[in-house]
Amino acid sequence: MATAAHLRRGLSHAAARSSPLLTRAAAPCSPSALSGPSGWRTVLAFGTALSGVGIGLSTVAASPSGTGATAPPGDNSASPAQVKLSEHNNTPDAARLHAARELLKKQREQGLGQQDADNDDGIVLTKLLKPTTNKPLVVLVSCGSYSPITNMHLLVFEQARNYLQLETGKFEIIGGFLSPVHDAYGKATLIPQQHRLSMCEAAVQSSKWLSVQQWEIKQPGWTTTAETLCKYQEALNRAHLTDQPIRVKFLCGADVIESTLIPNLWSPADLDLIFGTIGVAVIERVGLDLPALIASSPVLSKYADNIDLVPQRISNTISSTTVRKLIQAQQSVRFLTPDAVIEYIQANKLYGHDPAKHVPAEYLEPKL
């Protein structure tokens, strides 16, 4: 599934060991936290405090043995932003810990978690469907580059919802969040985040349940998948939209599962949080035996019951890379990405689109 930069943001094991607060931050995200807002609010407070002093869950190590997270599916190179991020982690541990605690204290005094459902963090909860059953309520979250967004990015949400809600009947899917990655991710093919955000918003205009979240791009820098998921979970908890708890589930491709087997790529605490506490919906890939892969991993096998494997009903043959190359070649990308996205790309001359090379279409006049 060529969706996005899901792989990008695991903490390196070395970075996690370097600060007691980093490992402590993941602890409140326990399974019991899903039943109420307090646990998620706690982890958000720690996460926000950490990122505020430059040592948050977005911190990654620059060394090859502790690269943090990787690039989007199909590109397993480390992010160019990792070295820059690590430069902010040079303060002594004691000073960083004190700064984080002071920021956390200030946030508590200001009443952290009391914002409205539509808030300054860029989290909008206005396209969530009213529950019609008593099944567990889930919001699917996919984090990615979306440079540009394609029809496959949208189709994977529909495939996951079809399977999890209609085929298995395990959950009621009441929403889906697309979360574009921050510019600080540093991948060469990223265009400015405001363009990527606008394209995503154009792409989901007609959807009744998919929305675009700005939280990641509103942060001062690159954030981890774990921190992002916790943030969305906390926003859902504090909104008190239903009598039932609403939980987020991470929607990703099979390459994310494969990436967890790479030594030192993901923080153990982040893996426990994402796979153990939050839960994952994975779009299967033809030719990859995901059940066997999960069984071979001590971490993933421990959380196998919290990993939903979604059959790939529609082959994933559309990628952002393909769309970019076609645009650069001045060729048509119609039906590969929504028309509204194409119009935005053309209007803003993105990805090398040259209006001068496109002659307006004229229709033949029938001669009677």
- The band of 121, judged by pLDDT with boundaries at 50, 70 and 90, is confident
Please tell me whether residue 177 adopts helix, strand or coil conformation: strand
Please state, as a whole number, how many other Cβ atoms lie within 10 Å of the Cβ of residue 230: 31
* Confidence (pLDDT) at 98: 55
CATH of the domain at 38: 3.40.50.620
pLDDT per position as a tens digit, 327-337: 999 999 999 99
Query: Which residues share a beta bridge with 70?
Result: 78
Query: Which residues share a beta bridge with 140?
Result: 176, 249
Dihedral in degrees, nearest 10, Cα atoms 231, 234, 239, 245: 130
* Confidence (pLDDT) at 99: 52
Q: Summarize the confidence of residues 28-50 as an average pLDDT.
A: 35
CB neighbour burial string for 34-47, b if at least 16 within 10 angstroms, e if fewer: beebebbbbbbbbb
> Which secondary-structure segment (H or E) carries 258?
helix 254-259
pTM for this prediction: 0.72
Structural tokens at position 336 = 């590969």
Q: Which are the contacts of 304, defined by CB distance < 8 A and separation ≥ 6?
A: 294, 295
| Distance of alpha carbon 50 from alpha carbon 58, whole angstroms | 9
- The band of 29, judged by pLDDT with boundaries at 50, 70 and 90, is very low
Dihedral in degrees, nearest 10, Cα atoms 129, 132, 137, 142: -40
Q: Summarize the confidence of residues 102-107 as an average pLDDT.
A: 48
Q: Summarize the confidence of residues 98-123 as an average pLDDT.
A: 49
- Domain span at residue 17 reads 6-310
Percent of the chain whose pLDDT exceeds 70: 67
| Distance of alpha carbon 127 from alpha carbon 298, whole angstroms | 38
Helices (H), ranges, 9-89: 13-18, 20-26, 37-52, 81-86
Q: How many CA atoms lie within 13 A of 327 on its CB side?
A: 26
* Confidence (pLDDT) at 368: 76
CA-based R_g, the chain, Å: 21
Closest CA to 213 of 231, 239, 226: 231
Closest CA to 252 of 59, 72, 34: 72
Answer for the pair 282, 307: CB distance below 8 angstroms, yes or no. Answer: yes
- Parallel, antiparallel or unpaired: strands 246-253 and 172-180: unpaired
- The band of 72, judged by pLDDT with boundaries at 50, 70 and 90, is very low
Whole-number average pLDDT of the chain: 76
* Range name among 12-21, 31-40, 195-204 with the lowest pLDDT average: 12-21
| Distance of alpha carbon 255 from alpha carbon 7, whole angstroms | 8
Answer for the pair 198, 149: CB distance below 8 angstroms, yes or no. Answer: no
* Confidence (pLDDT) at 148: 98
In this structure, is the dihedral angle defined by the CA atoms of residues 60, 65, 71 and 73, taken in order, positive or negative?
negative
Q: Summarize the confidence of residues 130-149 as an average pLDDT.
A: 97
pLDDT per position as a tens digit, 195-234: 999 999 999 999 999 999 999 999 999 999 999 999 999 9
Answer for the pair 277, 30: CB distance below 8 angstroms, yes or no. Answer: yes
* Confidence (pLDDT) at 261: 93
- The band of 61, judged by pLDDT with boundaries at 50, 70 and 90, is very low
Residue 237's alpha-carbon distances to 38, 116, 129, 183, 246, in angstroms, are 8, 11, 16, 28, 7
Predicted confidence (pLDDT) at residue 78 exceeds the cutoff of 80: no
- The band of 102, judged by pLDDT with boundaries at 50, 70 and 90, is low
Higher pLDDT, 80 or 351: 351
- Parallel, antiparallel or unpaired: strands 172-180 and 307-310: unpaired
- The band of 136, judged by pLDDT with boundaries at 50, 70 and 90, is very high
Domain count, the chain: 1
Residues in the chain: 368
